[in-house]
Structure 1
Amino acid sequence: MPLPVDHIVFDIGRVLIHYDPDIPFSRIIPDPVDRKWFFDNVCTHDWNIEQDRGRTWAEAEALLIASHPDQAERIRAFRKHWHEMVSHAYDDSVTLLKRFIDEGRDVTMLTNFADDTFDQAQEIFPFLTLPRGVTVSARVGLIKPDPEIYRVHTERFGLVPERTLFIDDSLPNIEAARAFGWQAIHYSGAEKLRADLAAHGLL
């Protein structure tokens, strides 16, 4: 049997808020073949994750524009229209987050996020200011699933690893958290999340 949970740690993207670059880019690049090429070759996942590690958007844009000058306008559109990519909150998850806080439980967040877009996300979604605190990857220069980011979060917030429950949509992030000693739930939807939380005695 797992130990009782004293600390609940939420991921943010695709657990508390939606994220989908196709939302603005389906308008910016209407042709799906062209749009796929752009995300596969220009504004790639590997390029974007470096902003989560701490690279500034200005540096990121300059790097791509130097190698793809003909794509400059589209490259700049990624940051310009980022707010459209986070189109809505996951209401069921947010309700649980608020419930745990109202019950007096210790709730924090651990997220792969760029520095300035996290500030923007908190403006769009004020509930992101409610937990006790957050570790933002760009601000510590580490990204999940690097084991070091779990150590940093644990030490910053005084967590007991074996009594900490992490909720994330990424299986590699979940596996890394478990390897560090946290309990973890792989988020795949509201119904399963509630069942998993009940199994941990939290609902």
Structure 2
Amino acid sequence: MGGRFMAMIDAILFDVGNVLVQWDPKNLYRKLLPDEEAVERFLGDVCTLEWHSAHDQGTSFEENAALLKEAHPDHAELIDLWGARYLEMSPGEVDGVSTLMDRAESAGLEFHGLTNMPSSIYPLLTEAFPPVARLKTVVISGDEKICKPDLEIYRRAVGRMGTDPARTLYVDDTLINANAATELGMVSHHFTDAAGLENHLDELGVFGAG
């Protein structure tokens, strides 16, 4: 009997950044600034993750950059490049996940997505990275105007997927986001690498034979 008949889950709900696709602003700004110290200083003082979180909540790159450039006019060009060259923050897929998706799909699982991400970026990622294009139903924070770990965005994902939360594995590289999914009855996995996720799927009976 194939593993799909004994698996404890029917679907995987994936985060995207640093689960399916690598993401780190340093990948872009290392090309633009002279050394690592300058990169750390720029990302720590100017284009911070706190500033970027507004994009994930639906603020456009242009609007958010305009406010920041008023405070940091000497860095105006570098600030604009955050949006203009955003994809360069993602140099490739996360190692091993595409192959793991092949195995899970063969075992009968379907794939969905729940991601904190600017609305304009997701279509570009689907074109650039095949694992992202495999997601069936995707809930994007930039569209919803709320971000994980707010439980409301998980509720919206569950409602749109049409899957049983108790038979859905949520995968996220941020622990607080992974834990939030359990409050709605989902199984969760704090992602660190493909091998760890593979082990968890095996424990859930996805690859087992009975």
Q: TM-score, normalised by structure 1?
A: 0.93
What residue is the counterpart of 2:27 in the other structure?
A: 23
What residue is the counterpart of 2:68 in the other structure?
A: 64
Unaligned runs of 5+ in 1: none
Question: Matched residues in 1 for 2:114 and 2:102: separation?
Answer: 16
Question: Matched residues in 2 for 1:155 and 1:81: separation?
Answer: 34
What residue is the counterpart of 1:121 in the other structure?
A: 125
Unaligned runs of 5+ in 2: 1-6
Q: Which structure is higher in helix share?
A: 1
What residue is the counterpart of 2:164 in the other structure?
A: 160
Task: Give the counterpart letter for 1:94 in structure 2.
Answer: S
What residue is the counterpart of 1:86 in the other structure?
A: 90
Q: Does the CA contact (< 8 Å) of 2:8 and 2:206 recur in 1?
A: no
Specify the SS of the correspondent of 1:180.
coil
Matches within 5 A, 1:7-156: 7-156=11-160
The structure showing larger relative contact order (alpha-carbon pairs under 8 Å, at least 6 residues apart) is: 2
Task: Give the counterpart letter for 2:72 in structure 1.
Answer: H
Alignment RMSD, CA only?
1.5
Deviation digits for residues 69-120 of structure 1 (CA, Å, limit 9, x no counterpart): 1110110121222121110112411122233334432221111111111111
Q: Does the CA contact (< 8 Å) of 1:101 and 1:131 recur in 2?
A: no
Q: Does the CA contact (< 8 Å) of 2:16 and 2:115 recur in 1?
A: yes
Q: TM-score, normalised by structure 2?
A: 0.90
Number of positions where the alignment pairs a residue of Structure 1 with one of Structure 2: 201
Task: State the Cα distance separating 1:123 from its structure 2 match.
Answer: 1.4
